[in-house]
């Protein structure tokens, strides 16, 4: 029988992250200060902003030269030209540039402004997504596992909008130690029917469940621990979640 509850805990006291900070070490030190001991199966949910800052993925606006294309898109829509320029650099394809700047990033995410954001960024600066969020998650997982000997899962998150629903939601952009999907094929529903096809994106579900504690403004809680959720590791990562262009219903 599956467990009937999970717990979601905010990790308080995480310092402001700077370039080249070791995220795994900071998490471990903050856990020790908070008198929290990790258990097998714990999931560490991490806001991408602190990962990006540690990896030097912060750009000051004065360092950015605006291209003609970025200027044209910005003027036509009333967008920030620096944000547009950075979005074009980070994206491999522009999907829409009227009323919104929707791009596909090099890692396959389809999102607004290639994920380039000014929220929780230093003054006049912009935070980019990690270059390879799955790799970032693997690195954090390896360091934490080596230090603790505990089996963990890591999920790196970003808050993004959805084309068919209003409002934004936290979702997974990087993961390690947990399979991206949970498949219910072969299980039975309430009426005994065998499920032939049922795939759940559990990393997105878990990212969304952490967001009420993380917040999106000045809460300053970039790390959340989820405990007692049953999951398995596998080969599928967050990079496998976005539909390829051939399966995208909107392109």
Instruction: State pLDDT tens for residues 130-146.
Output: 999 999 999 999 999 99
CATH number at residue 117: 3.90.1660.10
pLDDT classification of 9: cutoffs 50, 70, 90: very high
Q: Which domain range does residue 191 map to?
A: 1-51+130-242
Cα distance between residue 75 and residue 160, in whole Å: 24
Q: What is the pLDDT of residue 193?
A: 62
- Tens of pLDDT, residue by residue over 187-243, are 655 555 655 667 899 999 999 999 999 976 455 799 999 999 999 999 999 999 998
Q: What is the pLDDT of residue 190?
A: 54
Cα distance between residue 45 and residue 36, in whole Å: 15
How many domains would you assign to the chain? 2
Question: Are 122 and 134 in a shared domain?
Answer: no
DSSP-derived letter for residue 98 is S
Question: Are 81 and 193 in a shared domain?
Answer: no
142, exposed or middle or buried, with CB in 10 Å at 0-12, 13-18, 19+? middle
Percent of the chain with pLDDT strictly greater than 70? 92
Cα distance between residue 96 and residue 93, in whole Å: 9
DSSP-derived letter for residue 170 is E
Evaluate if pTM is beyond 0.85: yes
Q: What is the pLDDT of residue 164?
A: 84
Pairing of strands 125-127, 58-60: antiparallel
Query: Coil, strand or helix: which one is 227?
Result: strand
- Chosen domain end from 129, 159, 189: 129
Mean pLDDT of the chain: 92
Task: Specify the residue for token string 């621990």.
Answer: 225
Cα distance between residue 227 and residue 145, in whole Å: 16
Q: What is the pLDDT of residue 215?
A: 78
153-162 β-sheet, strand order:
7-10, 223-227, 43-47, 153-162, 165-176
- Chosen domain end from 129, 147, 176: 129
Question: Are 104 and 134 in a shared domain?
Answer: no
């Amino acid at each position: 029988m599956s467990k009937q509850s999970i717990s979601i805990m905010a990790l308080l006291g995480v310092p402001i992250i700077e370039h080249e900070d070791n995220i795994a070490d900071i998490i471990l030190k903050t856990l020790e200060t908070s008198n929290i001991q990790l258990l097998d199966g714990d999931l560490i949910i991490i806001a991408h902003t602190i990962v990006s800052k540690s990896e030097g993925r912060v750009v000051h606006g004065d360092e950015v030269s605006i291209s003609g294309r970025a200027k044209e898109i910005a003027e036509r829509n009333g967008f920030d030209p620096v944000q547009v320029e950075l979005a074009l650099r980070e994206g491999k394809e522009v999907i829409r540039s009227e009323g919104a700047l929707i791009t596909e990033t090099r890692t396959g995410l389809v999102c607004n402004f290639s994920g380039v954001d000014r929220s929780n960024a230093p003054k006049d600066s912009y935070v980019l997504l990690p270059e390879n969020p799955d790799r970032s998650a693997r690195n954090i997982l390896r360091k934490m596992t080596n230090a603790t000997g505990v089996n963990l899962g890591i999920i790196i998150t970003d808050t993004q909008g959805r084309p068919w629903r209003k409002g934004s939601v936290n979702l997974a952009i990087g993961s390690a130690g947990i399979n991206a999907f949970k498949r219910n094929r072969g299980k039975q529903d309430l009426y005994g029917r065998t499920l032939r096809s049922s795939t759940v994106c559990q990393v997105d579900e878990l990212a969304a469940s952490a967001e009420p504690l993380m917040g999106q403004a000045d809460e300053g809680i970039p790390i959340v621990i989820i405990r007692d959720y049953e999951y398995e590791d596998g080969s599928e990562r967050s990079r496998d979640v976005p539909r390829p262009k051939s399966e995208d219903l909107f392109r």
